[in-house]
Structures are given as structure tokens and as C-alpha cells.
Structure 1
Amino acid sequence: MKSYKITLLPGDGIGPEITNVTHNILDLISNKFDFKLNFKEMPFGGSAIESDGIPFPNKTLQECKNSDAVLLAAIGDPKYDQLPREKRPETGLLKLRSSLDLFANIRPVKIIPSLTKASSLKEEYVNKVDLVVVRELTSGIYFGEPKGRIKTESGVRAFNTMTYTSEEVKRIAEIAFKLAQQRNQKVCSVDKANVLDVSQLWREETILVSNNFKGIDLTHQYVDNAAMQLVRNPSQFDVILTSNLFGDILSDIAAMLTGSIGMLPSASLTKDGPGVFEPVHGSAPDIAGKDIANPIAMILSAAMMLKIAFNEIDAGNFLENAINELLTEGYRTPDLMSSGKGKQVGCKQMGELLVEKLK
């Protein structure tokens, strides 16, 4: 029997709730498809600050490195905002990405027919949406040096540096083009090349990479226009390729096309080593413990893990189809309720209904 090792990072806020639901579902799926999943839960984010004094302990890093995949729920809580930056949960997340060299963040955004009315846009604008945001994840302004704050005669000056090398652009561009080959043969590279030197390099290197993918239609948009186009005509996009900062913003805009950020999974990948699979949403501490969180994004992240990390394609597809069936039957967590329509359920019950569907 095939066996896979998963490091589980429940994190903070609603993280433990959606992790419990997802863990139960993965146990069922693995039994059904005759493979074994070995889970090791580790502290990360705020929970690690409480237990170890830092957001990303070395023991958690080593466990991640020794696993076949990492399944992360969510991290963060306002109560940690007053800590020094190096001790905040978000710093642990950045360290996780850099330590595992998770340079490619893949965020699929596909409308589920039964949820078109839940979108903040009119149904006719979203009913054909099927796109993927490919975001560079380990460089750009979040990691660039120098950064910091200094005192000047006119007050405090803060600064961050957006930086990319040719190789960093090339390797993420290749991911986007290869993905487009499996989809609708279109890549839209998003930058700010009319203003930023770093974006000019981004565009130049992306064009060079495109020469190796003759069948792919490459277009370019400035980031402000791309944000507008995502709410004006989102179905024009197939694969969106962009940098760390721009991808962070655009993927959250794209998330709302589906009706809720609680619906979107993601995968953060490297060339050699375990990937991290996590929902796009945050820890939502304001609703933690109320049993109203939407677990679907994390469950769909688990489905991505099954397919990408373990090549358990049938198991992943089976899980995704079961979710679609459940939503088609009208079951909704509070974030998906539109005009009072649907059968409202909580986080735990949504998981229980899915377990019944999967049996």
C-alpha cells in the first residue's frame, strides 16, 4: 500500500476547525482509494508563539522538510500585532515559503454553477470564469533588501525594496506557460512596466520564455488595468502570471468572483521538495469557535495535494465532485448564503454531509 507523510499546520483562528473537518475527510478518502496518509501535527503561527515563543520553530521546519506535503490551514491574530515583526505569525509564513523555496503559488479560480448567484458580480459576468493565478512567492518586495525604518530630520522613513533576478522571473514564467499548455493556451503577464524598472525586467524575461512556448498566446496588462478587468470581464483570463505583491492583491480580487474567499484553494510549489497546500483565506479570528467557518477551501486544497503531491488523481477528482454535488443540493455555510436561499449549515455539519457523500 502506498503511504504519504503529511505535516499538518492547523495554525490560528478558524484553522483548527477546518483542519479537523479536512483530516476526517482525508482519512475516509485514503481508505476508499487504498493508500495511507500519516499525519504529524506541528505548531505554526500564533499557536507556535504560545508554545515555543516564535512563529516557526525549527522542529516544525524539519518536520515539513521530511514530509511529502504540508497542509496548512491559516495563521494570524490581531493580538500578536504588537509583537516585534520577526515574532509575528506572518513572519513565520514568509520563513516557511523561503525555507522550502516555494517560489510558485498556484491559485485556481473556477466558478461552481450552483454558486453563481453568490458572487458579488452579476451572473452573466462570472458563469464562465475558469482561471489560474500563478504568483511568484519567494522574492519581490516581501523579501527584498534593504528594508526597514530609519530616523531622519523630517521624521521616520520606512522603505522596502522590490527586486527580481532574471532567473527568478524565468522559473515562474515557465510554470505559467506549462500550465497554460494544459488549459486554454493563454498567459496574461501582469506588471507595472510603464513605471517600474523591475517590471520592465519582468516583461523582458517573460517574453524570452514565451519563445519556447510557440503555441501560447502571451499578453501583458498593467496591474491597475488587470484589477479592473477582473471585475469587468473576468472570463477573458486563462493563466495570470504575476509577481509576489501584485499576485497577492489580484488573487484576492479573483477570489470574490466565486462568491466567497472561503471557496478557494492554493498550492505553493518548489522544484524539488514538499509543497504547501492551503486555503487562500485568512484565520478569521472574529468567527473562530462559532462553527460558521467555510471548510471547503481547505478541503479543495487537500484535493490539490492529492493530485499534485501524490498523483492520486482519481481520489482528488472524487473529492472535488462530491463537493460540487453537495453545493448543487443547496447546502451552504453562512458566507455562501445569497438572498436567503439555500440550506444553511455550520463548519462541522458541512464536513459530516461531505463524509456521507463520500462513503
Structure 2
Amino acid sequence: MKIAVLPGDGIGPEVVAEALKVLRAIESPQRPFAFTQALVGGAAYEATGHPLPPETLALVKASDAILFGAEGGFQYETLPRGLRPGDALLSLRTELELFANFRPIRLFPELIGASTLRPDVIEGLDLLILRELTGDIYFGEPRGDRTGPHGRESFNTMRYDEREIARIARVGFEAARSRRGKLCSVDKANVLETGELWRQVVIEVSAEFPDVELSHLYIDAAAMTLVRSPRDFDVIVTSNLFGDILSDEAAMLTGSIGMLPSASLGIGRKGLYEPVHGCAPDLAGRNIANPLATILSAAMMLRFSFGLTADADRIEQAVRKVLAQGLRTADIAEPGARVLGTREMGDAVIAQLTQAS
């Protein structure tokens, strides 16, 4: 099983190191992993002058899965478009056609006090945000800067075609079919033509899935409902921009964005697995970042790319046992909790895996 490891920038190398420790702890001669590390993002730009060097792209194309840390840094924000660390991730998504981004929003019962919402609102929370990842305003053309009648102006193009909408809708219906059978499609059809097309195509695709209950919400209403009654949702399918915003909002339902894993999938089993959080340069090198989102992303990799469901379950159970022991990183710590560093939290997960085996 060939895994491309792209630690990236900021806290990326630290949290990826802990995920690798966990993967090595469950490795066996019958199912060995082959890890190959490469540069990406700001680290790649510093070394090669480009955030996605050709050798890194060649590696990910030859691999079965990609474990990604984070990219970015304040010092890169003024670089030309195409050379910024975030451009590497956008390029990977398009080059590998990773159009479906799975972001599970699951509240560990042990962390119910870490959220800013009332326990009765979030208890038992388990929903999935499915974000379309290769279209929308992030990739639409034309885009750029120019001088207009009132001075400088910038423009981006929000666009979707029915093929892009239909394929993410089908993934959403299939995901809902394997869960509680409810799919909520989020758009802005009352204002945007792209929203009108989105809703029309989702309704057309729904005819293929008569066993799934389909509902629709405008993005503003969905954002409100997500904090008012989040347990109303099972699967949310939405566009690139809206999914980006909603999933970060949903992170606070679980107590911290440091708890959210993700999987970006396309056609076939290859996927890119990364924590939802960013590079957090202010935390880098201090051994205080939460590695659990990256460890849980590695579990998603085992489940989706390699079919190792039992091993994925073992990792997720080990994380829950660590939390049940009252062990916390700083971002999810409550009064009286034992606060661990990044490396120590990874060791605690491994200890649970070893004890279970």
C-alpha cells in the first residue's frame, strides 16, 4: 500500500508524524505500508521555487493514497497566484479529480463540554458534510484584477455544470443511503443562477434514489440550523464555497477544529486525507497542536482507500478511549483535564492500540 506523505507547513509535520506513528503501530507483514515523503506548499516553495514540484505530483499520481498535513504561512500571502502554498492543494484536487470531500462531524461524548453549545443541542451529534471540491468560484474563469471606473477591482466567477453537480449529488445520495437516509442539499437558488441549476440537477438525480429523503435549504438558513438544531441533519451536500464555510462552522459543534478529519475522493479508491484545520503557524514547533484530526484522517484512509475497516475502527476506538481517560490537548481541555502535547497524545493513542491488541 503506497502512501505519499506530504507534511507541508506549520503544524503539518508535527501532526502527520503522529499519524504515521499510529499507522506503523497497526502495520503487519501481511499488509505493509510503503511511506514516501515529499515537499508541498511553502516548504516546497522555499526549496524549489514552486509549491507543487513535478516530483511531488509524480509521487502522488503513483501512490495509492495521500496523507496531507497543512499548507500556508503569512509570509507567502503576497506571492503571485500559482506560487502560493494553497495553490498546491487546489492543483492536487484538480490533477487527481478529487471532487468529493467528506467531512464527518461527530461529537465524541467525552467532549460534550468542550463545545460552546448546550449539551442538549449537540448530544449524539453525527452528521456528514459532503463538499464539492473541484468546481465553483475557487476554480471558475475568468478571474483576476483590473482597473475600473472607480479604481481597483477584482472579480471571480462562480460556475457549475450539470455533470459536476450530478456526480457529487450521487455521492451524497449513496452516503445518505448508508446512514439514516436523509440528504439535505444546500444552495442559494433564490439569488444565484448556479444555485438554481444546483437544485434542479439534485432533484433530477433524486429519482435514482427513491429510498432517500431529500430536502433543500438556502445557505443562510442552513448555517442557522446548523447551530440551532444540528441533529436535524444526516448528510449535507453542497458546493465548494458553501461547504468550506459550513464545515468550519460545524467544527465548533465538536469542540475544536482540531478534531475534524476529512477525505477527498474521486473516481476509484485513491484519496487525499487531511485534517480540516490549517497550518496554524503560531502553534508550530511548540508541541501543543492537536494531532487527533490527522490520526482520524489516517483511519479514513484505511477505510476508504484500502478497505481496512477493522483497523480504521481500532484507531477510532483508541482515540475515544484516550478521551475517556480525560487526556486532552490544549484546544479541547476543560478544567481539571490532563493536558498533553502533540507527541504525547500520539503516544497515548498508540498505547490504547497496543493494549487492545
Same fold by TM (over 0.5)? Answer: yes
Q: Report the residue type matching 2:43 in the other structure.
A: S
Pick one of 137, 140, 143 that aligns with 2:133.
137
Aligned 8 A contact 2:38 2:56 in 1 = yes
Pick one of 22, 26, 42 that aligns with 2:23.
26
1:62 equivalent in alignment to 2:62: no
Distance apart, 1:342 and its partner CA: 1.3
Aligned positions of 1:22-171 closer than 5 A: 22-31=19-28, 34-171=30-167
Pick one of 326, 329, 334 that aligns with 1:333.
329
> Any unmatched runs of 5+ in structure 2?
none
Matched residue, 2:353: 358
Over the aligned positions, Cα root-mean-square deviation in angstroms equals 0.9
Partner Cα distance (1:130, 1:239) in 2: 9
Partner Cα distance (2:145, 2:249) in 1: 30
Partner Cα distance (1:269, 1:20) in 2: 23
Matched residue, 2:212: 216
Distance apart, 1:25 and its partner CA: 1.0
Pick one of 302, 322, 343 that aligns with 2:338.
343
Distance apart, 1:273 and its partner CA: 5.8
Partner Cα distance (2:269, 2:310) in 1: 23
Matched residue, 1:274: 270
Aligned 8 A contact 2:102 2:130 in 1 = yes
Pick one of 239, 245, 248 that aligns with 2:241.
245
Q: What SS does the corresponding residue of 1:105 show, helix, strand or coil?
A: strand
Q: Report the residue type matching 1:7 in the other structure.
A: A
Pick one of 2, 5, 10 that aligns with 1:5.
2
1:302 equivalent in alignment to 2:277: no
- List per-residue Cα deviations over 1:49-82 (Å, max 9, x = no partner): 0111111111111100100000001111001112
Partner Cα distance (1:341, 1:219) in 2: 43
Aligned 8 A contact 1:9 1:43 in 2 = yes
1:199 equivalent in alignment to 2:195: yes
Partner Cα distance (1:132, 1:182) in 2: 12
- List per-residue Cα deviations over 1:237-267 (Å, max 9, x = no partner): 0000000000000011111100000001000
Q: What SS does the corresponding residue of 1:8 show, helix, strand or coil?
A: strand
Aligned 8 A contact 2:183 2:214 in 1 = yes
> Any unmatched runs of 5+ in structure 1?
none
Distance apart, 1:34 and its partner CA: 3.7
